[in-house]
Structure 1
Amino acid sequence: MKKVGFLVNPVAGMGGAVGLKGTDGLAEEARARGAVPVAPQRAAAALAGLADLDALFLTAAGEMGEESLRRAGLRSRVVHRPSGPSTAEDTRVACRLFVEEGVDLIVFSGGDGTARDVAGVVGSRVPIIGIPAGVKMHSGVFAVSPRAAGELLRGYLAGVLRTRETEILDVDEEKYRAGTLDTQIYGVASVPYLPVLVQERKQIYSATDEEEIKEEIAAFASEFMRDGSAYILGAGTTTAKIAELLGVEKTLLGVDVVQDGRTICRDASEEDLLRTIEAAGRTKIVVSPIGAQGFVLGRGSQQISSRVLRRVGPENLIIVATPHKLKETPRLLVDTGDPELDAVVSGKRLVICGYRIAQRKEVASASMVGRGGEGEGL
């Protein structure tokens, strides 16, 4: 019988919707702002439909994995019990025990910080799969969706998937909250790999011609944004260039709302956006995909949640990206946590890639990739 190590970081991702850009050291602040747990729900989605697996899951007690496995009907054994609220050290201790027990695979629900903790213990000795549940997921160990993580787990245990090595990336959260993206490589890990099911690590494009094209995109945006609508601007350098041309201050790594040439909500949380939409009336969303990964929604700007998108209307979602980014990004993905809404957003969509220039690009629901969606399943 195969053995799988399984962990949930209960606080991972809680800072996203409330605008904290991370949860490390800020779980209580996130709760005070009304954040709710994300990682257990994402874990449940990954484990759904796996009850028939002939595998034993080793885990940590309570909300660190035991509860998720019990609800999914999977056979499990607790190897570690935290003495209080779970910490990064609990993750590391559990992983050391997984290695000692000779697990074939480790699956965790969290973000880049959790990936660092897991890989810091196991390195490339044991393959790992990340269920995407954090605010930041720049590393290449994450499945494109929770459902894809479950499919990778099944495929690897069945012996039909090989592994590849990938880098573990993370950012300095204090700098990140201050508007500086300082990404570092923290190690290498092994991950079961099927191209459509595993995300690429984030890439940043910075060349002179890229900046010129961003200015062209910004010039076009500054024209259509004069229609009186409120515009929610997602994170990134392309949307920051739009704000710069409009003469308004933009939170580089946050979400802001602009209307009639002025900022009406800066560094917004999900609730801020919902209140602003109610007050402003007609609202549109401008976002740019994450380089190489291709996520339009569901990574980095979780403030633009399914609730926000439903309120604005999927038809008012505007995607902007340079031609080079589109060329280097295999596919565009959405992962709002609402599969029905993701399906509505999916399909051929126009992407503004210059001054009055657009390309049609396929947008796929991450939860459907590999399951009758884009690519082949297992």
Structure 2
Amino acid sequence: MKQFKLGLVINPIAGIGGSVALKGSDGVGIAEQAIALGATAKSNARALLALEILLPYKENIVIYTAAGDMGEYTAKALGFNTEVVHQPVNEITTALDTEQTVMTLINLDIDLLLFAGGDGTARNVCHIVEDKFPVLGIPAGCKIHSGVYAITPKAAGRVVELMITNQLVSLTDADVMDIDESLFRQGIVKAKRFGEMQVPSELRYIQAVKSGGKESDELVLQDIAADVISKMDDELFIIGSGSTTAFVMEELALENTLLGVDAVCEQVLIESDLTEPKLWQLIQPYAQGKVKLVITLIGGQGHIFGRGNQQLSPRVIRAIGKENILIIATKTKLNALQARPLIADTGDSELDIELSGYLAVTTGYNDQVLYPVASPQ
């Protein structure tokens, strides 16, 4: 089983004012006031409930977290392999500690950020994360209006368990909401949307528009193609080989090289059947992030690189960037792998490791799942 890199951020004072009628923990001096009134923090206990679900897999998990009550104590108490990436300055932590921890985690290529708190904590996380990696909240605050939280702490653990055991997990965009606590304390509820984050959730196999709840390959491929096409503007899209990617070209009414690599910009075919040198030359004028690579997997085997697309060399893949790779496949095709990971076999072992982890796979229109990618053994 691949080692799972789990980011963990616990807001130790999340919801601390709830039990003493302070309506939360946001605001200068609120945490101190709550403690003076006898309130006790509960967020670590709730994070513990989520992490206990993962104990059977702890040999395959590394937790990256902040020192003390922000995650270190709870993770180590359960025996997880724990690495501390941030040291809070003061005994009572602040929103800045959360943001600095998350900022550090961005550079560690984690598979998922698990955080415990309330809507204020979700706002802090969202401010830094954007769409750099998926997140999941453990509900521990007074206010849980945001859609980024699991229903219960144990439910959060169960979703992470699905990921660790290579089950198909949907990746959805969820709103980050919060209310003004100062107004709330005056009896006025005023909620506001502050952004959205990508959240893993249990995969729903029954689709409302599909006959009998089963995927019709052609309808699903149309949905996948529509999703890719909706993303096409002035960027250069490199279309890899395979029948699934060929369907995208078919929907664009463009000629396709089934076993080759084509280039499309603004839905117009730029080059066909590119060699590696031509592809390398073609992408040079484009700024970083302005080239997208659309690939699929070899059915039954799971290879995304190294078989049938050697034109996509290590230097080309590095130039495009992992974050600009769009993997497309039907859920039927993914399920046929029977939980085996996708394989990146580029011929460059360091790049294979860099590509490993959980990547989003587009399985329909605005429908993605998280699926593990591994380097060859």
Q: Provide the TM-score with structure 1 as the length reference.
A: 0.51
- The partner residue of 1:84 within 79, 90, 109 is 90
Q: Deviations over 1:313-364 (max 9, x none)?
A: xxxxxxxxxxxxxxxxxxxxxxxxxxxxxxxxxxxxxxxxxxxxxxxxxxxx
SS for the counterpart of 1:167 is strand
Matched, 1:64 2:70: yes
Letter in 2 for 1:164: T
Which residue of the partner structure matches residue 39 of structure 1? Answer: 43
Q: Deviations over 1:286-324 (max 9, x none)?
A: xxxxxxxxxxxxxxxxxxxxxxxxxxxxxxxxxxxxxxx
Contact 1:50–1:74 under 8 Å retained in 2: no
Which residue of the partner structure matches residue 2 of structure 1? Answer: 4
Q: Deviations over 1:223-267 (max 9, x none)?
A: xxxxxxxxxxxxxxxxxxxxxxxxxxxxxxxxxxxxxxxxxxxxx
Q: Deviations over 1:75-134 (max 9, x none)?
A: 110011111131111110110111101111000110000011111111122111111000
Contact 1:124–1:165 under 8 Å retained in 2: no
Contact 2:53–2:158 under 8 Å retained in 1: no
Which residue of the partner structure matches residue 304 of structure 1? Answer: none
Higher mean C-alpha deviation, range 109-118 or range 16-25: 16-25
Which residue of the partner structure matches residue 131 of structure 2? Answer: 124
Contact 2:65–2:101 under 8 Å retained in 1: yes
Matched, 1:181 2:189: yes
Counterpart CA distance in 1 for 2:50 and 2:133 is 20
SS for the counterpart of 2:187 is coil
Return the offset for 1:71: 1.2
* Distance change >3 Å, CA 158–CA 195, structure 1 → 2: closer
SS for the counterpart of 1:191 is strand
Counterpart CA distance in 2 for 1:46 and 1:96 is 23
Letter in 2 for 1:174: S
Return the offset for 1:195: 7.8
Which residue of the partner structure matches residue 216 of structure 1? Answer: none
RMSD: 1.4
- The partner residue of 1:20 within 19, 22, 26 is 22
Which residues in structure 2 correspond to 1:224-373 (within 5 Å)? none
Which residue of the partner structure matches residue 11 of structure 1? Answer: 13
SS for the counterpart of 1:180 is coil
Matched, 1:52 2:60: no
Contact 2:170–2:203 under 8 Å retained in 1: no
SS for the counterpart of 1:14 is coil
Which residue of the partner structure matches residue 143 of structure 1? Answer: 150
Q: Compare CA radii of gyration and give the structure with the larger one.
A: 2
Return the offset for 1:15: 1.0
Contact 1:156–1:162 under 8 Å retained in 2: no
Write out the 4+ residue segments of structure 1 that deviate beyond 3 Å after TM superposition: none
What are the ranges of 5 or more consecutive residues in structure 2 without an aligned counterpart?
Answer: 205-377
Return the offset for 1:194: 2.3
How many aligned positions are there? 196
SS for the counterpart of 1:109 is strand
- The partner residue of 1:166 within 174, 189, 196 is 174
Letter in 2 for 1:104: D
